[in-house]
Structures are given as C-alpha cells and as structure tokens.
Chain A
Amino acid sequence: MSNILVVAEMSDGKVRKSTHSAITFAREATKAGGSFSILVIGAGAKAAAAEVTTFGAAKVLVCDDASLKDPVCERLAPTVAAVGQGFDIVSITASSFGKDLAPRVAAKLSAGYAPDISGVKVDGGKATYRRPVYAGNAYVNVQLTTAKGVVSVRQSEFSAAEPSGGASPIEDVAMTAHDAAASKVTFLGIEAAKSERPDLGEAKVIVAGGRALKEKFAEVLDPLANELGAAIGASRAACDAGYAPAELQVGQTGRVVAPALYVAIGISGAIQHLAGMKGSKTIVAINKDAEAPIFQVADYGLVQDLFGAVPALVSEIKKANA
C-alpha cells in the first residue's frame, strides 16, 4: 500500500496534459491499495486546480503564489519536498520541467530517484519500476531502497488519464520558503517558436523531417502537417543545421513521443532518434536510401526522393479524404 503525490505540471495558468500520464501512473501504483493526491503549484494554481478534481485523487493540494510564476527549481522544490514528506512516492512527468525538478526534490527528501519510468508493478507494497536505458535498447526493472521514492513518468508510455467523476476536495497548502540559492537565479524569460500546431507530446500524428530537407523544411512539411492535423518534429541534425527550431527535436535527448502515426521524412534513423519515436503506433519512413536504418522500425517504407514523394502524398491524401 502506498500513498502517492502527483506534482502537476503547469504552464500559462493551466495544468498541462502531461500531468494526466502521471495520474495514470498513480492509479496503477495504487491499484493494490493506497491513494493519490495531486499538488498544483504555481501562480494561478487555485484556478488551475479545478481541472484535476475529477480524476479520483484523495485531495487536490494547492499552493498558489505569485513568486512561483516562472519554472525556477529553487523556488518550487522546497514546497514540493515539504508536501512530499507526507507521501511514500512523489511523481512528476519526465518532461524538461520534471527532469529539472525531480532530482532536486529527491535529494531534499533523501529519497531514491527512478527517472523516466515506463511501467510500475506493486507487489507486497514494494514498487518495481521499469525504465529504458541505452537509448531504449534495453529496459531495466529497478527498485528504490529508501523509505520514500521520487519518480519521473515517461508521458509516451502511460496513456493520458480520463476523468473518473467525483470531486476531490481542494486544500490549500502553505508555500515553503524558497531555497537560499533562489536569490542567485534570475528568470530572464522564455523564447518559444510560435506555432498553432499541437504539442509534440499530445499530437496524434507527427510529421518529422531530417537533415535532407535543408532550407525547404517548412515548405515541404507544412502542407502535409496541415493535411494530417499533425505536429512537426525534427531530427537533431535538422535542428543543429538551423532548418528547424531546437524544441522540435525528437530523440533520446529531445522529446520522446508516441503518436498513432509518425512520418519520418529524410531521417536516417540513428539510434538516438529512434529512442524518441520507436513507441509510435504506426511508423512511415520516406527515404531515398533503401538501406537507411529507419526502415528497420518502419511499418511502411517508401524508397523515394522526398521532394517528389511528399507533395504527391499530400495530394493523394486530399484525394482519399475528398
């Protein structure tokens, strides 16, 4: 039996969808007993908390403070750890937000940390976590030896929880003083490429491009993404070359995604890229090199020059959907 705290991830005054995967983890880990609560922390947490009261949490804990507006770890971690004291497991999404925060919280709690988990089994009150290692070339089952544990939950491997009805009681919690180190950090701002497209973590379809697209990255991919209502992703090589913004990078060190459909265009399929998209349900690869490793994971491979194939694909899909 274990009690779990799910730390919600907030942005723009809303609870991010990634939190729903952490809720799924919490439900699985408490199946054999125990309960979970959700901590909504940040400026505007009070308003955002309403979004997560129907997921079956024992409580929704709210820490709303203007000083928590920006995602600065040294301000958030003390309260997360203080609230986490009352739980056996503190969980958070393995997004860049969670990966920054979770280890610092673990250190505060002298808790073991299981990063980026893809599964959980509880047996006799002891949790065993499954997690990918070696860029997803192997999975390992791990246990924490400490009384308390901190985990980050891989969004692509836990489906998004659906509301289960009911209404969890909301309770305010006091903010714990920022770390002394917080006074040494100034948040200067966030630069984001504006996009109307779905977030990579939430998209059902992703159209991803590689180095081969060159300066024509957007020109070639946009019509296909529009047609499919897709998010756009990129290989590291395409980001490094400046053809695509860095936050579109999919891979071991970029975003880990698992959409229903992933279309890899002019991407060779290096293991570091595969690590981020191998969990996709259906994979299509378009590459002019029949030996490209991407074809080893693709359900459908098309060996063609992308500059001809992609526009043809757009018009064929239009025809099919007409």
Chain B
Amino acid sequence: MKILVPLKRVADPDNANKVKVNAGKLVTTGLEWKPNPFDEYAVETALRLTENGTNPKARMGEVVVVTFGPKDCETTLRAMLGTGADRAIRVDTGDETIDGDVVARALKALVEKEKPDLVLCGKQAVDGDSGQVAQQLAEYLGWPQATFAGTIESEGDKALIVGREVDGGTIKLKVELPAVVSVDLRIVAPKSVKGVHTPATHAYPEGVRFAALMAIMAAKKKPLAEVKLADLTGDAALKIQYLDYEPPPARKAGVKVKDVAELVTRLKTEAKVV
C-alpha cells in the first residue's frame, strides 16, 4: 500500500502556555517547532500499515510524507524519514501565509501525481485547531472519507475498516481505497492498527516510535523533493483571513478550601450550584 501523509509543523503545544497575545498579535518567540502530534500519529499509522509487524525491515508499501512551508521545514520531514518514512516532499510556499483550503487543493494535485492508495492525515493541527484538510481533500478528489479514526484494520490492502471516535461512541465504517482518513489520538494504542500483513497476535508499543541514531543518519540520504506551490495550484487565494488575536477570558483567582465541609458550604452559598 502506498500512503501519503501530509505533515504540519507547529509551535510546541506543551509550551503553548507561553503563547501570548500582545496588542492583537500572537507572540510565539521562544517556542520550538515540533511536528503536529496528530500528524506524527498519522505517520506512525502509515508505518504500521506498511510493515508486517514482526520484521521491521519487511516493508509492504511506501510511506511518503509531505509538508508545506519554507526550506527549514525540511528538518521536520527528515525527522519523519528517520522514523521510517521512505520519501519526502516539501511544497515550497515561500513566506506566504496559506490556509487549509489551499493545502487541500494543492494536495489534490499532488495525489493525482503520486497516486497513493491512502492519504492519512492528523485530525487537526494543534495550532489552528481547524480540522478541515482531510474532508476537503476527500471532496476535491471525489474520494470517501473517514475522520477521527481511533482504529484501522486493513482488508487485503483494498479496503479499511475504520473505528471513528464520535461524540456518541464509535462508528464503524468500511471504506474502499483510495480514501482519505484522519486519525485521532488512540490510533497509536498498541492494538489500534491492524495491517493485512501483521500477525493477529502482534501488538505495537504505545505511542509513536523514536528514530534510532543509525536511522537518523540514513534519513539524510533518503529522497526529499521540492515542489513549488504554484506548480500544484494556480489559485493560492486565501478563503480565511486572520485578523487580530485576543487573550482567552481570564478566570478570577480561586481559593483553596480546607476540607470537604467548607467546599460544600461554598458551593451552596457562594456558587449556588449544589
């Protein structure tokens, strides 16, 4: 199976407390770039689907990672090549701001060139929290979509059984390939992904894999192509414009209560919620 995984780098969410708003502008100085965690989960999922689960060397397909941005985004791509992706593409956007819709349209052109069986996305990027690229790409391609996947099982490399985590529980869908799937957190649980080449008894470790030093060295030699955004879509007009930022509404400082009795009294008399 050939899988394309779009990847975005984001300001480290575990430092996101430090995202500040100053005079309507977002201040991100001092924040480190990291791959969007959901996209890392998508890469991990792609690796699990294209290996046999017992022999890391026996790959049963190809994983191509793609990102949009300036030259220094290549660090993020190399990191993914280090964990096992086979090939990388950087879509050069120069210093231009882009939005999810442009990404989806450009990806459409890339998919038509690369002809993957599956596009695996993270369900949202943890900076903009938009969650739109997978669905829009599916529409532009005329492909089926399965969003918020918590489990994926491949059926003979021709279809996927996807467990979609929705508000009311888990929806099971069967989608024929080619398709676009976006992944949720639990896709990196030990038994969440079952590839057709993976023995039923196999369980992966929790989370995403780390790149070994040797693999990081080897990743330097893996192919990394550059494509210009304009070569994929002639229309880079933005459909959404970000104006000014605001800090979140402040919560007034709370109190520590000394015991359960005081807590209940305060909930009854002050907050009037009990």
A240-B185, A300-B267 are contacts. A138–B254 as well, Cβ < 8 Å?
no
A99-B131, A114-B240 are contacts. A138–B257 as well, Cβ < 8 Å?
no
Q: What is the distance, in angstroms, from B149's C-beta to the closest C-beta of chain A?
A: 12
- Which of A104, A141, A281 contacts B135, CB < 8 Å? A104
Do residues A316 and B129 form an inter-chain contact, with CB atoms below 8 A? no
Q: What is the distance, in angstroms, from B219's C-beta to the closest C-beta of chain A?
A: 29
A104-B136, A138-B247 are contacts. A253–B171 as well, Cβ < 8 Å?
no
Do residues B129 and A116 form an inter-chain contact, with CB atoms below 8 A? yes
Measured in the bound complex, the distance between the Cα atoms of B162 and A187 in whole Å is 10
Cβ-based interface call for B263 (8 A): yes
Measured in the bound complex, the distance between the Cα atoms of B20 and A139 in whole Å is 10
Cβ-based interface call for A111 (8 A): yes
Do residues B274 and A73 form an inter-chain contact, with CB atoms below 8 A? no
Measured in the bound complex, the distance between the Cα atoms of B99 and A146 in whole Å is 13
A246's nearest neighbour on chain B, judged by CB, is B165
Q: A236 to chain B: which residues have CB within 8 Å?
A: 185
- Which of A180, A228, A271 contacts B16, CB < 8 Å? A271
Q: What is the distance, in angstroms, from B23's C-beta to the closest C-beta of chain A?
A: 13
Q: How many residues of A contact B (CB 8 A)?
A: 94
Q: A180 to chain B: which residues have CB within 8 Å?
A: 142
Do residues A145 and B238 form an inter-chain contact, with CB atoms below 8 A? yes
* B172-191 residues at the A interface, CB under 8 angstroms: 172-176, 179, 184-186, 189
Q: What is the distance, in angstroms, from A195's C-beta to the closest C-beta of chain B?
A: 10
Q: B247 to chain A: which residues have CB within 8 Å?
A: 138-139
Q: Point out which of A138, A190, A321 has the most chain B C-beta atoms below 10 A from its C-beta.
A: A138
Q: B38 to chain A: which residues have CB within 8 Å?
A: 253
A253-B124, A295-B256 are contacts. A95–B167 as well, Cβ < 8 Å?
yes
Do residues B245 and A139 form an inter-chain contact, with CB atoms below 8 A? yes
A70's nearest neighbour on chain B, judged by CB, is B171
Q: What is the distance, in angstroms, from A74's C-beta to the closest C-beta of chain B?
A: 6
Do residues A107 and B101 form an inter-chain contact, with CB atoms below 8 A? yes
Q: B16 to chain A: which residues have CB within 8 Å?
A: 134-135, 137, 271
Do residues B132 and A115 form an inter-chain contact, with CB atoms below 8 A? yes
A100-B148, A138-B21, A317-B274 are contacts. A284–B263 as well, Cβ < 8 Å?
yes
Measured in the bound complex, the distance between the Cα atoms of B202 and A215 in whole Å is 25
A99-B131, A107-B136, A135-B16 are contacts. A130–B246 as well, Cβ < 8 Å?
yes
A132-B129, A240-B186, A312-B260 are contacts. A301–B255 as well, Cβ < 8 Å?
yes
Q: A278 to chain B: which residues have CB within 8 Å?
A: 248, 251
Measured in the bound complex, the distance between the Cα atoms of B134 and A39 in whole Å is 25
Cβ-based interface call for B156 (8 A): no
Do residues A140 and B243 form an inter-chain contact, with CB atoms below 8 A? yes
Cβ-based interface call for B204 (8 A): no
Give chain A's interface residues, CB within 8 Å of chain B. 11, 71-74, 77, 95-97, 99-104, 106-108, 111-116, 128, 130, 132-146, 179-182, 184-193, 200-201, 205, 228, 236, 239-240, 245-247, 252-253, 255, 260-261, 271-272, 278, 281-284, 290, 295, 297-304, 309, 312-313, 316-317, 320-321
22 A–B contacts from the bound complex (CB under 8 Å): A103-B134, A104-B138, A104-B139, A107-B136, A115-B131, A135-B13, A137-B19, A139-B245, A139-B248, A141-B242, A141-B246, A181-B138, A184-B176, A205-B273, A247-B170, A252-B129, A297-B251, A297-B254, A300-B263, A302-B259, A303-B256, A320-B264
